[in-house]
Amino acid sequence: MSSEPKRILPSPKWEHFELYQKVREVVFSLPSHFETETTIEGISATDIFTLNSALGATIENQVVETLNRVRSVWDPLGQYRLYTFVRQAQTFPDVLLAKSSPDGVFSAENVLLGIELKGWYLLAKEEVPSFRFQVTPGACAVADMIAVVPWTLSNVISGSPRVFTPYIESAKYAAEYRNYWWKNLRDAKTDSSLIIPPDVGPYPKNGEHILDRPRSDQGGNFGRFARTKMMDEYIDSLNSQLLCGIRADHWRDFFKLFHDQANLETIRKKIKQLKRRFAAQLTLSDTKSFFENLLDLIERHGN
Query: pLDDT tens digits, residue range 142-181?
Result: 999 999 999 999 999 889 999 999 999 999 999 999 999 9
Are both 94 and 162 inside the same structural domain? yes
Last residue of a domain, one of 205, 230, 255: 230
Are both 153 and 272 inside the same structural domain? no
Summarize the confidence of residues 266-285 as an average pLDDT.
Answer: 65
- CA dist 20 and 74 (Å) reads 9
More confident site: 94 or 297: 94
Are both 130 and 37 inside the same structural domain? yes
Asked if residue 8 has pLDDT above 90, the reply is yes
Are both 55 and 164 inside the same structural domain? yes
More confident site: 29 or 55: 29
Summarize the confidence of residues 33-46 as an average pLDDT.
Answer: 84
Query: pLDDT tens digits, residue range 98-150?
Result: 997 776 667 888 999 999 999 999 999 889 999 999 999 999 999 999 999 99
Name the pLDDT band for 291 (thresholds 50, 70, 90).
low
The answer to whether position 176 is within a domain reads yes
Range of the domain at 175: 17-230
Asked if residue 215 has pLDDT above 80, the reply is yes
pLDDT of residue 287: 46
Cβ neighbours of residue 119 closer than 8 Å, sequence gap 6 or more = 56, 57, 59, 60, 63, 148, 149, 150, 151
Are both 165 and 210 inside the same structural domain? yes
Are both 25 and 138 inside the same structural domain? yes
Mean pLDDT lowest for which of 10-14, 122-126, 184-188, 199-203? 184-188
Last residue of a domain, one of 230, 259, 274: 230
The answer to whether position 6 is within a domain reads no
The answer to whether position 10 is within a domain reads no
Q: Do residues 202 and 141 touch, judged by C-beta distance below 8 A?
A: yes
The answer to whether position 282 is within a domain reads yes
Are both 277 and 205 inside the same structural domain? no
What are the φ/ψ torsions at residue 142 (nearest 5 degrees)? -60, -30
Are both 54 and 29 inside the same structural domain? yes
Cβ neighbours of residue 64 closer than 8 Å, sequence gap 6 or more = 85, 86, 87, 95, 117
Provide the residue type at 82 as one letter.
Answer: L
Are both 138 and 273 inside the same structural domain? no
Number of domains in the chain: 2
Are both 97 and 217 inside the same structural domain? yes
